[in-house]
Structure 1
Amino acid sequence: MARCPAALPTDHTPCAGPAAVLDADNAGADGCEHHAARLLAVLDRGRVFALPHAPAGAAHRVFKAAAPQQERLHRLADAIVTSPATPC
């Protein structure tokens, strides 16, 4: 099954609906709300906009869904950077 272009290569979850959002500069990928939220969570200063055929509120839902993921990812990044080195 084809997946939306916003799905990260390591994300094997299925798409949730049709492509509904893209980034602000048209330089990113159209994506379903599920994968767009996951992609937004890992982007630095990413923004989303609803495509013309998107359901009302699509970009807002993606933004809200990405926020909790961003917080977890930043905490994980801080833990990796600040943890003492361990031997392999």
Structure 2
Amino acid sequence: MSRCPAALPTDHTPCADPAAVTVLDVDNAGADGCEHHAARLLVNLDRGRVFALPHAPAGAAHRLLKAAAPQGERHNRLADAISTSPATSC
């Protein structure tokens, strides 16, 4: 089963839903993802941003921001988060 681009390599959980949001880092590098994986990615980014995709369910970006409350080490760039982050729970 393929997973969304927002899924961290250390996170082996399946996607909960289709991609609904785009997560951007400080350099505007982005990854589309399901709410589940996008929240886990956003937790690992310092100053990350999230935008709902046009077909996203109402409130997707808001739910994701609430789920990704700051916890632990955060990174400035998407590449750093993907290559160094342990799996996080949300």
Q: What TM-score do the two structures reach when normalised by structure 2? A: 0.73
RCO greater where, 1 or 2, for CA within 8 Å and sep 6 or more?
2
Q: Quick check: which one's strand share is greater?
A: 2
Which range moved further: 31-40 or 16-25? 16-25
Any gaps of 5 or more consecutive residues in structure 2? 74-90
Alignment root-mean-square deviation, CA? 1.5
2:42 aligned residue: 40
- Provide runs of 4+ in structure 1 moved above 2 Å: 23-27
The percent identity for this pair of structures is 82
Q: What TM-score do the two structures reach when normalised by structure 1? A: 0.75
Please give the alpha-carbon distance, in whole angstroms, between the structure 2 residues aligned to 1:21 and 1:62: 9
Q: Quick check: which one's helix share is greater?
A: 1
Please give the alpha-carbon distance, in whole angstroms, between the structure 1 residues aligned to 2:68 and 2:47: 12
Any gaps of 5 or more consecutive residues in structure 1? 75-88
